[in-house]
Amino acid sequence: MKITETRIPDVKLIEPKVFGDERGFFMETWNEKAFHEAGIDATFVQDNHSRSIKNTLRGLHYQIKQPQGKLVRVTHGEVFDVAVDLRKDSPTFSQWVGEYLSEENNRMLWMPPGFAHGFLVISKTADFQYKCTDFYAPEYERTIMWNDESIGIEWNVKDVDSLLLSPKDLKGNGLIEAKPEINEYF
């Protein structure tokens, strides 16, 4: 398993070794010892699986009071996955990192608690699976607008009108509006 830092050092790109032959393949997606040696000390309490169609954009989601670390991967299709640093004292506060995750490249992305998370489906459909370090708590969930100019995520979207967003994601706050609450909890 190869674990490397991204532009935001606490966000890690994980590339598992894949062993395959004519019968199929095997890969290890979680190994507590290997992750610990790479500086990822996580205890997971919940696994999630979502399926989305092309041009679905989910996020940017985070939780206050119960922030979640996430280990994310794609088991079918391809997404552009994004993590935004919301930790107020971090030298990379408000910066983002994005990686393409797909069933072909088998990459995973780790983001510790204190990050907003979102993804854009590139393929016809995508199955997205992730492990969380805390339970989902809808009363603490918040959303930052996917296109907040102060963050400047380069989604590489040619036709913004083609994006599929939930009503919740359409009502997200800008980082400036969210900052007082972020500062209180992170």
Q: Is 49 a catalytic residue?
A: no
Query: Considering 49, 62, 76, 130, which one is annotated as catalytic?
Result: 130
User: In sequence order, what E strands does 77-169 have?
Assistant: 78-85, 96-102, 108-111, 115-121, 125-132, 141-143
- Sign of torsion over alpha carbons 106, 144, 64, 55: negative
Is 185 one of the catalytic residues? Answer: no
SS (H, E, C) 45-103: CEEEEEEEECCEEEEEEEECCCCCCEEEEEEECEEEEEEEECCCCCCCCCCEEEEEEEC
Catalytic residue among 36, 61, 117, 136: 61
Catalytic residues: 61, 130
